[in-house]
Structures are given as C-alpha cells and as structure tokens.
Structure 1
Amino acid sequence: MFATTLVLAIREIRRHLLRSFLTILGIVIGVAAVVTMVTLGNGATQAVSDQISSLGSNILSIRPGQGFGRGGGGPRPPDFDLEDVEAIMEQVAGVAAVAPQAQHSATAIRNAANWSTTINGTTNDFLVAQQWQLASGRTFTPAEEESGRSVCIIGDTVRQNLFQRDDPIGERFRIGDVSCEVIGTLAARGQGGFGNDQDDTVIMPVKAVQRRFTGNRDLRSIMVSVDPRYETATVQRSIESLLRERRNVSNPREDDFRVTDTAQIAETLSGTTRILTTVMGAVAAVSLLVGGIGIMNIMLVSVTERTREIGIRLAIGAVAREVLLQFLVEAVALACLGGLIGLALALVATMVAAPLIQVPFIFDPQINLVAFFFSALIGIVFGYFPARRAASLNPIDALRHE
C-alpha cells in the first residue's frame, strides 16, 4: 500500500511541477543555507587551527603586560633583554630553544623596487622554534649573531617584491639607511593565525636590529620552544617563576608579563569559530520553518482542490487512514525533494566559496544527513494537519463539493 501511495504522491507532484517547485523553495534555501554555513564554518575552524599550528608546536610566547598588549593606562611594564633570554635557557628545564624578538617596521629598497616590511631581530633559535625551513642559503653564524653584522634572511613575499626572478643570495639591498646582505631565503608559509602574511619579513641578528634600528636593548617578546618530553604547563610555570624573581614581582596577580601557550590560543579561537558556526546554522535553519509553512499552505489548497476526489475514494471503500497517508506521503516527498536539491546546491556553493575565502573544503556527512532528515521531519510536522483534514472529510459533503 505504501508503494502505491508513494506513486500517487509523485504523480500528483508531477502534475503541478511549477507549484511543487515553489512549494519546496523554502526547504531548498533552508537546507542549502544550513549546510553551506556549517561546512564553511568547519573549514574556517580547520584553517584557524592549521594557521596557529604553523607558529610551531609546543610554543610559549612571552610578552610584557598582562594582556596581548602592554597593559592599560598604568605605567608601561619594562621590556625584556638578552639577559632574560640567557636566564631562561640556562635555568629552566625542558627548554629546546629560546628566540628573542626585537621588531621594527621599515622600507626595503633595491634598485627601483621598494617594499614596506617588518624587520625581526632574532637568532637561529627562531627558525628552530617555528620549524621554519630555508628555501636557499644559510642561517647566521655565531660570529654574525655576536657582532650584530648586517646580514639577513628574507621571506618569500619580500623576495618576490624586491628580486622578482633574480637569485637574492649574496645580493645586497637597503633597509632604511642600512645596507644588508642576503644570506638565505625562507620557505613560503602563507597567512598566519591572525591574518598576517608570515612571508613578509626580514630576519636579522637581534643585536644588529637593536643597534641600527631600535636604538636600545629592549626585546618586544621572547619565543620559547618546549622539549616534547616535558609538559608545556610545567615549563610555563617555571618560566613565570623565574621572571617574577628577575622582575621583583612577589604576587602572581601583579605580573607585568604574560606567558601564553599557542595551543591554548588555537583552542580558544577554534572554540569561538565553532560557536559562530552553530549560531549561523541556527539562523539559517529558520528558513526551514518558513519552508514548512509553505508546504502546509499548499497542501491545504490541494485538499480543497481535491475534495471531490477524496469523497469518491472514501465512498468506494477507502478508510480515513489511507487518505491521511496519501497526503502525508505527498508532503514528505515534497520536503525530501527540497532537501536533496538543497544538499546539491550546498555542495556546489561550498566547493566554489571555500577557495574564494581561503578555507579548506571539508565534506561532513553528518550535517548533510541531519539536514536531510530534518527536512523530512518538516514535511511530517507541517503535512500532518492538511492530511488530517483530508482524512476527516465526510464522504457525502465531499461528493457535493463543487
């Protein structure tokens, strides 16, 4: 009986193709919107995780102040210096690499080409901590680091804008008024976890940047790579204890520095992205309810149009349950058809949109199945009332209907 009822439902849908399409349009839009939002949201979450991971594994970032900046309106907390770096390396167990960072923005100039970039004064430990490979050339020698010689390793963005297709190794260019020799180029890494271009950088020995650009011995931040054999939280507590001693801080609540685990940043950002994805999916799901109301409205019209047909079926022996099932199956078939079309549109939309917003395309079977079954549920819920109305018609009154 169910097969016969399904055939009758499909036949009725085909008789009014345009009306059927307009009926399911809300379901199509709702399913497509939900699946597209959730799929792109999952891709964005994965992109954030990948970009944070590109900063390096087991990384601790140490900065002055109690937040991501340098604090509020109080006195400016003191910066770090190279003695702090040496103390962390020598006195904290579980440290694999410690990289000081003294940064300065400047314009790099070569012949007629110029490019505004960031000069990062650091040591070879920076490349070790970030697991950043060289595309060509070499790293700093101990003598170059100690003397603060004007040599540099450039990122791929700087290389493309200053040297185009020329080999930069051994060439010189100016950074402000300072002439710098290129000894290496970095492998391309792309966008960072905070939307920055990681390849737009010039790496120089930290003492060279301090002497020739910043004019002081201050360090903007310190990057610590933790040995995988040690617990990151344990090493973090040891660093905090050491810095409190060196900076004469007795109460942890009064810390004038912040030690941040990049893994915690990744978890926080991913959690935030997932919440936003859920909210956007919930908002898009409202259109499914609108689609359900559209199905109920058209099914009520269909019941009115087919009142005489219903009366004939009841008069020749059909029971109310069969009439109810016929209209209910028709409503569910409409909703499922809208769900399938919506899934197809969502697949095309996400495959096109993902590269445009630079996030990976992640096909999630679970959200597709949930959206499809929810569309079927919409058909059952909103189709039941018209079906019940059809089944409750009096055969005599239905036959008299004009």
Structure 2
Amino acid sequence: MTMLDHVRFALWGVASRPSRALAVQAVLAAGIAAVILVSSVVKGYGAEIERLAFGAYARSLVISASPAGITRYGPPRLSDLTALAERLEGVEAVAAWRQERARLLAGAGQVEVALFGAHGAYGHEADMTVAEGRRLTLAEVNGAGRLCLLGAHARTLLFDDRPAAGGMIRVNGVACAVVGVFAPARTRPAERFDAAVIAPFHAVGRYFSVDDYLAPDEAFQLTVVTDAPFAMADKRVEADLILRRVRGVPLSQPSPFRYEDPGHSVRAVIRQRTLIGQLLGVLAATCLVAGLAGFSAIMASAIHERRREIALRMAMGALGRQVVAQVLLETALLGVLGGLIGCALGLGGGYGVALVWGWPFMVDGQAVALALGLGLLCGLLAGIWPARRAAGEDPAQAARA
C-alpha cells in the first residue's frame, strides 16, 4: 500500500464517524484554546499595565542634577540633551523640562498650579489625549511663543464649563494663549500634568518664570527615550560617560547627574505579570491535560469498537503495520484539526477579551506553534497503544468479539 492509500483509508475512517470525530476535536480544541487564550491575555495585560504604570518612563533615562554635583556643574543643559541625542545609541526621542509654579487668575481669586516648560518630544510623557483644541507643534514647543496647554484639572479650575481652547490666561501675570486642553491622564508619568500648565521651554524661561535658579538653557530634567526597556543600566552607564566627557568630569569624581532607572520598577511589574502568568498557566495546563486525557480515552474506546473492522481488513491481507499506520494517521489528523480549531477559538477569545477590556491584542507565536505541535503529538501518542493492540490481536478472536 502506498502512502496515498493510507491517507485515503484514514480520511474514510474519520469521515465515517463524524460525531466521534467532532467530540475528539472539541475536547482537544478546548484545552489548546485555553493555552492560546492565556498567552494572549498575559502578553496584552503586561503591555497595558506597563503602559499605565510607567508610560515612556519604562524605557527612558530621566536625568536630573545630582546633589553632589549641582554646586559645581549645575543642572543639565539643552547642550547635554543634544550630545546624548547624537552619541547615545538607540535614542528614539529626547525632551527637556523646566518646572516651576504658576499663579493664575480664577474668577475673583488666584489658584496655583504646576508650570512645565517643554522642549523636544514632550508627548512621550504628556501622553494624554486632547479634549479641546490641539497640541503644541514641535516648532512651537521649541520656540518662545506665549502658548500653553492645560491639564484637565487646571482647565476646571480656570474655566469651569466654559470652552478653554482659544482663550487667554495670565501665567504669573503674563498673558498666554490656550491652544489645547488635555483629557485626564491615564498613565502615572502623565498624572503630574493634570493640574498643570505646559508652555514652550524658552517661553517659560523668558516670560513666565518667577525664579532665577535656572539659566535660559538649563533644565530641571532631561528625558531620553530609548529602544531598550530592559537594559536601562547599560544605557545609564553609557549616558554618564557621554556627559562626563561633555562636562569634563573625571571618573574619580561622583557623577554630576542622577539617572533614575525605570527598569527597576519595570522589573517589579514584570515579576507581577510573571506571577499572574504562572497562575493562569496552571489553569490552562489543567484544561489541556483534561483535554488530552479525554482525547486519549475517546480514541482508545473508538479503536476498541472497531476491532471487527480491523479484523476484517487483516483477514483480507492487510499487515499489522498498515493498520497501525492508518490508525496513527487518523489520530494525527484529528489532533491537527483539533489544534487548528483550538487556535482559532483561543485567538478569537483573546481578541474579544482585548476588545472588551481595552488593551492591546498580542499573539504569542510560540504558543500557537506549541499548540499545533501538541495537537499533532497528542494525536500520535493517543493512537499508538490502541493501534498496536488492535494490530496484534488475532483476527478470528476480534471478529467474534
């Protein structure tokens, strides 16, 4: 018999008992779907919780003056930001910030909110959606125009229910045009802008500042967004060497800057995600083991019921290895079909969960490949023992059974 004959007999065996085939595939598909669903949920959960907790800080160097170096070298400067952007590998975006207090007129009184001067790609940290108006463009934020953005709470303090975009406010006594209003923040780094005013970096230094502790090109903080969220320690060392060369600080002296390592907090989140993944993985593995046990039991019972059919084939001249090949092809075919159905159900369930819960839908390719491989492997393993038993049985006794 050729392989084509084996395949033909296997397809006939599967199609001749559709209810049994559907039951076998459903049991196996349920376990595999659980594995795929868990993998997509864990990956989506991890991405969303890191975004909510850290935003751009998950892969950023946040550079500020060190207490040991502030008196001698001063705060970070815009020239330092330029040097990092040019020499540090893997830089996606850079930003500089000034931070002060702003006194604003609100009705008959005054309110005090935070005032931030932004330079560069400020949107990585101020990653709120715009509720009114528009954002400051890159040209505007790098200029010195008296333009500003309001956080959600600052807008409520100043305008109540009146439209804010297009209006005017006075920041520390100086007029400023409101170009846009942010919606409430959804990430921890962005929460500081809820009760704040954001204006161009140079405009804050030139018009709105009431303190003189920062020179026009000095910043309270520099933010360097990198492409290495889990290698921040290496980036910190690299950035420190660059800034030491720029400022002329020898290695024998303490660093003039602090490099907050968001990777430390990110590792805590990764640990939390790992624990949840392990819990869900145990549940999924339990479902998969139950599915495999049911799959094997159904296949063993089905082949046992086909003893007369097998005995008739062997009485007509079929060899034992040919019977084993047919049964293994049947179980492998059912295993692969069950794996495909399980993948489809798991991916569909993961997409539905992501859509309902509002986090990214992320497919784990390794989990999908593993599910398909498990389906094939389980089909083969479930068919070996009953196939060998059926092939080794005496045809006369099987026919009388």
TM (normalized to structure 1)?
Answer: 0.63
User: 1:350 maps to which residue?
Assistant: 350
User: 2:15 maps to which residue?
Assistant: 11
User: 2:165 maps to which residue?
Assistant: 168
Pair 1:94 & 2:91 matched: no
Q: After alignment, is 133-142 or 317-326 more displaced?
A: 133-142
Shift of 1:389: 1.4
Whole-angstrom distance in 2 between the partners of 1:326 and 1:160: 74
CA RMSD between the two structures: 5.6
Whether the aligned pair in 1 keeps the contact of 2:328 and 2:387 (CA below 8 Å) is yes
Change over 3 Å in CA distance of 1:242–1:273 after alignment to 2 = farther
1:111-141 per-residue CA deviation (whole Å, 9 max, x = no partner) reads 8xxxxxx954332337658586982677699
Q: In structure 2, what residue type is equivalent to 1:154?
A: L
Shift of 1:61: 0.9
Structure 2 matches for 1:46-65, cutoff 5 A?
55=56, 59-62=60-63
Whether the aligned pair in 1 keeps the contact of 2:332 and 2:379 (CA below 8 Å) is yes
Whole-angstrom distance in 2 between the partners of 1:321 and 1:195: 67
Q: In structure 2, what residue type is equivalent to 1:318?
A: A
Whole-angstrom distance in 2 between the partners of 1:13 and 1:316: 22
Q: In structure 2, what residue type is equivalent to 1:27?
A: L
Q: SS of 1:123's equivalent?
A: strand
Whole-angstrom distance in 2 between the partners of 1:374 and 1:160: 57
1:221-259 per-residue CA deviation (whole Å, 9 max, x = no partner) reads 72345999xx8754334557999x8xxx9886xx89740
Q: SS of 2:17's equivalent?
A: helix
User: 2:221 maps to which residue?
Assistant: 222
Whole-angstrom distance in 2 between the partners of 1:333 and 1:160: 64
Whether the aligned pair in 2 keeps the contact of 1:48 and 1:266 (CA below 8 Å) is no
Structure 2 matches for 1:379-398, cutoff 5 A?
379-398=379-398
Which ranges in structure 2 are unaligned for 5 or more consecutive residues?
A: 86-94, 128-132, 228-234
Shift of 1:373: 2.8
User: 2:319 maps to which residue?
Assistant: 319
1:25-67 per-residue CA deviation (whole Å, 9 max, x = no partner) reads 34212221222233344445665787899638995314699xx
Counterpart selection for 1:183 from 160, 177, 180:
177
Shift of 1:375: 0.9
Whole-angstrom distance in 2 between the partners of 1:328 and 1:140: 69
Shift of 1:348: 1.8
1:185-211 per-residue CA deviation (whole Å, 9 max, x = no partner) reads 457698666586587352268899998
Change over 3 Å in CA distance of 1:341–1:99 after alignment to 2 = same
Whole-angstrom distance in 1 between the partners of 2:32 and 2:101: 49
User: 2:39 maps to which residue?
Assistant: 38
Whether the aligned pair in 1 keeps the contact of 2:39 and 2:363 (CA below 8 Å) is no
Pair 1:125 & 2:119 matched: yes
Q: In structure 2, what residue type is equivalent to 1:11?
A: A
Q: SS of 2:177's equivalent?
A: strand
Q: In structure 2, what residue type is equivalent to 1:200?
A: D
- Between the two proteins, the alignment pairs up a number of residues equal to 358
User: 1:153 maps to which residue?
Assistant: 149
User: 2:197 maps to which residue?
Assistant: 203
Whole-angstrom distance in 1 between the partners of 2:68 and 2:35: 49
Structure 2 matches for 1:301-320, cutoff 5 A?
301-320=301-320
Whole-angstrom distance in 2 between the partners of 1:373 and 1:311: 32
Pair 1:300 & 2:300 matched: yes
Whether the aligned pair in 1 keeps the contact of 2:169 and 2:178 (CA below 8 Å) is no
Shift of 1:166: 1.6
Whether the aligned pair in 1 keeps the contact of 2:149 and 2:181 (CA below 8 Å) is no
1:256-290 per-residue CA deviation (whole Å, 9 max, x = no partner) reads 9740366x579868976996797578543453333
User: 2:240 maps to which residue?
Assistant: 236
Shift of 1:320: 0.9
1:363-386 per-residue CA deviation (whole Å, 9 max, x = no partner) reads 566643442232111111122111
Shift of 1:310: 2.4
Which ranges in structure 1 are unaligned for 5 or more consecutive residues?
A: 66-76, 112-117, 145-150
Q: After alignment, is 25-34 or 127-136 more displaced?
A: 127-136
TM (normalized to structure 2)?
Answer: 0.64
